[in-house]
Structures are given as structure tokens and as C-alpha cells.
Amino acid sequence: MKQQSLTLAVAIAVFVVAQCVPSLARDRTITGTIRGFECGDNCYLTILDRNKAEQVGLCAAPECKSWNEQTAMPSRYKGKRVAVTVGQGQQVDGSGNVMGEMMAFKKIRFLD
């Protein structure tokens, strides 16, 4: 009986942890419009999603490369409809030290 209770408790704990921890292995897609782009030590893209919620992530997509280098996004992209592939990225400080992880836009597909 003790073994069954312990097994059940472990199974419940694993289930609860699995539900609470976000999946970092699977990327997801957000569809919306580009709201803004800004840079500091990192460059961030803001997307207004279908639910009118702002989604801010590191601009890590190949499409962002020139924007990140110039620390500016061409104004013609503001308001464009996009589907972005979202994953995890590392925030770094000005010296290149990793400060933490956050949402990152890994790929941008322009819909307009």
C-alpha cells in the first residue's frame, strides 16, 4: 500500500510540474501586426497579436539581422501583418554576458 501511494504521489508531482513548466522544446507561432522595434543592449520586436495583446520578444530572426545591426527597423514594416515563430532566446548585457532568457522571435513570415 505504501509503494502504491508513493508511486501515485510521484506520478501526480510529475504531471503538475509538466503542466506548469513551459515547453522550451517546441516553438509556436503568433500571428499579428508589427507594432514596434527598439534596441538597447538587445533588440526587441513588438507584435500586436490576434487578441490585441502586445507580444514583445528578442528579434532573433534572420529577417532582423540588418535591423539589429542598424538598431532600427525600416518604417515600412510597422503595421505589417506577420506570422512569427516564437522560441526562447538569451538576453545579454552590453559586454555580452548572458543575463537571462526570454521569448524570442526566431523567424518572421510577412503576410502582406
- Bridge partners of residue 55, in order along the sequence: 47
pTM for the model stands at 0.74
> What pLDDT is stored for residue 26 in this prediction?
63
Digit-coded pLDDT (tens) for 74-86: 999 999 999 999 9
Cell of 17: 510540474
Q: What is the DSSP string of 38-84?
A: EESSSEEEEEEETTS-EEEEEE-SGGGHHHHHHT---GGGTT-EEEE
Percent of the residues in the chain that have a pLDDT greater than 70, as a whole number: 77
Task: Produce one character per residue of 79-96: b if its CB has 16 or more CB atoms within 10 Å, e if not.
Answer: eeebebbbbbbebeeeee
Output the CATH code of domain 27-110.
Answer: 2.40.50
Cell of 22: 513551459
> What pLDDT is stored for residue 27 in this prediction?
76
